[in-house]
Amino acid sequence: MSHGSNSIELEASGKQQPIPVSVDASARPPEDSNIYNVTRTRKVFSFSQLFAFSLTYMALWEGMCSNMYFALFNGGPQTFLFSFIIVFFGAISQAASLGEMASIQPVAGAQYHWTYYMAPQSVKRFATWIQGWSTWFGYVSLLAAIANVTIILLESMISINHPSYVAGGWHTSVLVIAMCLVHGLMNVYAFKLIPWVELVAGVLHVCLFVIFVVVLVVMGPRNPSSFWLQRNISSGWDNEYIAWNLGMLTCVWSFTGFDSAIHMSEETRKAKSAVPRAMFWSIFMNGVLGFIMVNVLISAMGSVEDMLEQPSQIQAILLNVTGSNKATTAMIAGLFIISFSVNLANIASVSRLTWAWSRDGGMPAYFAYVSPTHRVPTRSIILTVFLVCALNLLNIGNTSYVAFGAITSLSSLALYLSYAIAIASIIYVRLSGSTIKLGEWNLGRFGLPVNVFALVYTLYVIIFLPFPSTLPVTGENMNYCGPVMVAVLAIAHPTRSPHWWQSRQAARQEQLRLTTDQEDDLERWILRQEKLGHAPTHAQVRTIVRSVLARHGDHAPLGRKWTTRFVERHPALKTKLGRRTDWERVNAATPANIKRLFDVYETVDWIPPERQYNADEGGIMEGQGVNGLVIGSSQESPNAVPVKTATVPFKSNGSDANF
């Protein structure tokens, strides 16, 4: 990969022919983007932690163990093997394409942000709206499905040791709710631990892979080489081509969601290089591990007919290989632990996407709130957990799994649609006669071919995602992802108007004007001034903020309640900001105080006359600010603060007035 710039800048050239891609290290983010001025979260992820996060999130070889049924159902072992290879190359091209955009603009909103900046002007608003809702709904449904799979693994362990146990739909729902509540609490109150949890899970992910491979290869049976090419179609499809592609969707689903690392960008250090590297190399490593596991499973499994009759294929394989309930339980427990950590990471990722989409007006700005105490988007986390719990209530009842399946089937279609729109946007920029200044992680001259291959693969997969997996089609086996996708966009259609959430969004934007570092610096300055006996007024704070924003090209008026909201975000300031009042000044100007002023003035010979700025009932002041602000402090060298109007007493004359 080549290295170069940090951001994107589009310059219309007027030409219609493809032009070379330039890489500029001095590039800057778009001036009209506010993403760098509203982040309130901590940067807690290093590259290694984010890599482990992404590696574990994919859990690809574990997915091959848990979700092989439909590959065997529609195609058999040869579909399982060769479709994995195709999907691997398609997914890694998708990851490389999204990685380029992540290096240009690493932001939690990811795909819809890139679409807005790169899509054609005539369609960018509509494309961004489709993109945002597709990504969000896709991730919520994916999270619900992963939570369901995690609990099914737990129920599988119970059934191994208690054969009489029959898992009911309500069991799954209750266990999913309990697990998601634990994950929600961890994301709010212990988020600093999550990078380390995912790092440990990443190590366990690799160690368990070695254990599974050794056990299955050393202790398992050996199928003949012809078994790898065996074809089996039990779905009722007469067309082998369609059946084969439907079997491929097993691998497609397991590769879905690789962009989760991007949604953690605003909490990652050196995100412009760390995020694309973590995403790309986690896909590559997972692909290698997954390919090995597919071959090991094909070698050790029984006949296809026997596998299709089992409620859990991996459970049947492990019991056959080990001959031990305890060993099988222990190995499935390892899969459960990994899946548990995947669900934990998924809630973190989906909540950041929810936060970003709310912050940018796609959802109510209420969910864009970031807790000043925990520095995480608490309301988005709560909403995410609530939605997953609500969706899993559809498991309750004898046939309600159809409704749950209809919702979760949306994940692949929605996310692949989001990939297609984003990749098409960067292809448009490359072919439209514009100059794109890439980030420091990019594909160089291979960028356009890789983007085109990724788009073709994505569109090809989208064709088969709405197909029913079984014929004849009934209400129970129908693939509902197409109708559900249309219904989702229809329900979300009113939000397409830019004025839908405008009032709340505008109010929220008034509160989120400074970066986290800038707010922290302002808080420290206020506390320091208070210790010197001169807490700044609300007006002085607003003056400072307007000055800082103006230097960054932001000349929009500051919200009427901005200072109040700022104090609410920083509880330590609640008693620090003071308001000057005329009666305090009048009360301080007593004859006794004025006499004391002149008495003190005669003794203060260590303030050079040229440094004396003012002397009144408020005290003797020293120092001149760079923009006319008078500053005084107890430090040896008074600091000049670049603001416009304020005075700070250097030595008080004893008055209790707050000047």
Q: Can you tell me the mean pLDDT for 528-541?
A: 78
Inter-residue contact 198 to 345 (CB < 8 Å): yes
Domain boundary among 527, 560, 577: 577
90 confidence band (pLDDT: 50, 70, 90): very high
Q: What is the pLDDT of residues 371-398, one digit of tens each?
A: 878 888 889 999 999 998 888 887 776 5
pLDDT value at residue 26: 32
Count of alpha carbons within 13 angstroms of residue 52, beta-carbon side: 19
181 confidence band (pLDDT: 50, 70, 90): very high
Q: Is the pLDDT of residue 3 over 50?
A: no
**Percent of the residues in the chain that have a pLDDT greater than 90, as a whole number:** 17
Q: Is the pLDDT of residue 403 over 90?
A: no
Contacts for 261 with CB less than 8 Å, ≥ 6 apart: 50, 53, 54, 57, 275, 278, 279, 282, 349
pLDDT value at residue 85: 94
Q: Is the pLDDT of residue 453 over 90?
A: yes
Q: What is the pLDDT of residues 206-223, one digit of tens each?
A: 999 999 999 999 988 888
Q: How far apart are CA 395 and CA 155, in angstroms?
A: 14
Domain boundary among 551, 577, 603: 577
Q: What is the pLDDT of residues 437-448, one digit of tens each?
A: 788 888 888 989
Domain co-membership, 483 together with 543: no
pLDDT value at residue 297: 92
Q: How far apart are CA 621 and CA 600, in angstroms?
A: 13
Q: Which of 581, 582, 577, 552 is nearest to 562 (CA)?
A: 577
Q: What is the pTM of this model?
A: 0.68
Domain co-membership, 632 together with 521: no
Domain boundary among 430, 464, 496: 496
- Report residue 517 as tokens: 């570092």
Dihedral, 243, 249, 251, 257 alpha carbons, nearest 10: 170
Q: What is the pLDDT of residues 102-145, one digit of tens each?
A: 888 888 878 888 888 888 888 888 888 888 888 888 888 888 88
pLDDT value at residue 164: 84
Domain co-membership, 155 together with 250: yes
Q: Is the pLDDT of residue 459 over 90?
A: yes
pLDDT value at residue 610: 56
Lowest mean pLDDT among 184-193, 324-333, 340-349, 646-655: 646-655
Domain co-membership, 142 together with 186: yes
Count of alpha carbons within 13 angstroms of residue 308, beta-carbon side: 15
Domain co-membership, 297 together with 394: yes
pLDDT value at residue 89: 95
Let me know if residue 60 belongs to a domain.
yes
Q: Which of 375, 40, 391, 383 is nearest to 194 (CA)?
A: 375
Dihedral, 640, 646, 650, 656 alpha carbons, nearest 10: -150
Is 606 or 153 the better-scoring residue by pLDDT?
153
Domain co-membership, 449 together with 559: no
Domain co-membership, 304 together with 347: yes
369 confidence band (pLDDT: 50, 70, 90): confident
Q: Is the pLDDT of residue 530 over 90?
A: no
Lowest mean pLDDT among 33-37, 46-50, 534-538: 33-37
Let me know if residue 368 belongs to a domain.
yes
Q: Which of 210, 197, 201, 167 is nearest to 331 (CA)?
A: 210
Inter-residue contact 113 to 132 (CB < 8 Å): no
Domain co-membership, 299 together with 444: yes
Let me know if residue 93 belongs to a domain.
yes
Lowest mean pLDDT among 198-212, 343-357, 436-450, 470-484: 470-484
Q: Domain residues for 519? A: 515-577
pLDDT value at residue 159: 87
585 confidence band (pLDDT: 50, 70, 90): low
Q: How many domains does the chain have?
A: 3
Domain co-membership, 191 together with 322: yes
Let me know if residue 629 belongs to a domain.
yes
Q: What is the pLDDT of residues 604-630, one digit of tens each?
A: 655 565 555 555 544 555 544 333 333
CATH number at residue 334: 1.20.1740.10
Let me know if residue 338 belongs to a domain.
yes
Burial class (CB in 10 A: 0-12, 13-18, 19+), 611: middle
Q: What is the pLDDT of residues 261-279, one digit of tens each?
A: 888 888 888 888 899 999 9
pLDDT value at residue 424: 92
Q: Is the pLDDT of residue 638 over 50?
A: no
pLDDT value at residue 650: 36
- Work out the widest C-alpha separation in the chain, in whole angstroms: 107
Q: Is the pLDDT of residue 521 over 50?
A: yes
Domain co-membership, 448 together with 558: no
Q: Which of 83, 77, 472 is nearest to 245 (CA)?
A: 83
pLDDT value at residue 553: 67
Q: Is the pLDDT of residue 161 over 60?
A: yes
Let me know if residue 569 belongs to a domain.
yes
Q: Is the pLDDT of residue 347 over 60?
A: yes
Domain co-membership, 523 together with 614: no
Let me know if residue 5 belongs to a domain.
no
Domain co-membership, 304 together with 420: yes
Count of alpha carbons within 13 angstroms of residue 636, beta-carbon side: 0
Residue with tokens 């082998």: 240
Let me know if residue 408 belongs to a domain.
yes
